[in-house]
Amino acid sequence: MTGRRLGIYGGTFDPVHIGHLATAVSARDELSLDRLLLVVAHDPWQKTGAGEQVSSAEDRFAMVCAAVSDVSGVEASDLELRRQGPTYTADTLRELRDQDPEAELFLIVGSDVAAGLPTWERADDVRRLATIAVMTRPEHEGDTPPDGWHWVRVDVPQIEVSSTDIRARRAAGKPIDSLVPHAVLRIIEERRLYGSRR
């Protein structure tokens, strides 16, 4: 893996949707990234620990691959899927740094989590390894990382869509055609994800 400026945008992506893609493309351009990785979480412990049902890693990775197949400079990453147990950002950043010691890493997060970065697993490693690229989230416009963190703000489109809402719409038999790329919808239909089909 090579690339002097590398973006990391992690998530559950259950499913990946147009908001994720708009964020990825905007961050790629604003940060002048050589590559941006959509890193699919293997075990999103914040969600599974709270009892939330999560689709298989295989299904989620397939959807992300389909979503970015024709998006220049944006790639699906299975880095965390190849590790066992809970997945931590510190491990992902360390692996990317080991693969390309000269790369400049940009970790893309929402402003809703920016202030809580010190509570992350091995937060000091995260702070040392990457510049934090903060996307503004509604009701968290002023939230930023604490002092001592190297960060930049990234303007991304505010698209009112969430994976939770998409799953609920699908289960209720409502259309999701405009909320996910067509290739993702095809996988959802073929694998019968998220409940009933119209």
pLDDT digits (tens, 9 = 90+) for 161-176: 999 999 999 999 999 9
pLDDT reading at 198 higher than 70: no
pLDDT reading at 52 higher than 80: no
**Tokens, residue 48:** 């599974």
Identify whether 76 is part of a domain: yes
CATH of the domain at 110: 3.40.50.620
Identify whether 18 is part of a domain: yes
pLDDT band at residue 60 under the 50/70/90 scheme: very high
Identify whether 19 is part of a domain: yes
Domain count, the chain: 1
In this prediction, residue 2 carries a pLDDT of 52
Q: Read off the amino acid at residue 89.
A: T
Identify whether 30 is part of a domain: yes
Identify whether 83 is part of a domain: yes
3-state secondary structure (DSSP) of residue 78: coil
Beta bridge partners of 55: none
Identify whether 154 is part of a domain: yes
Identify whether 95 is part of a domain: yes
For residue 168, the enclosing domain spans 5-190
**Distance (Å, rounded) from C-alpha 30 to C-alpha 141?**
18
Identify whether 198 is part of a domain: no
pLDDT reading at 50 higher than 60: no
**Distance (Å, rounded) from C-alpha 76 to C-alpha 3?**
15
3-state secondary structure (DSSP) of residue 35: strand
CB 184 within 8 A of CB 14: no
What's the half-sphere exposure (Cβ side, CA atoms, 13 Å) at 157?
Answer: 13
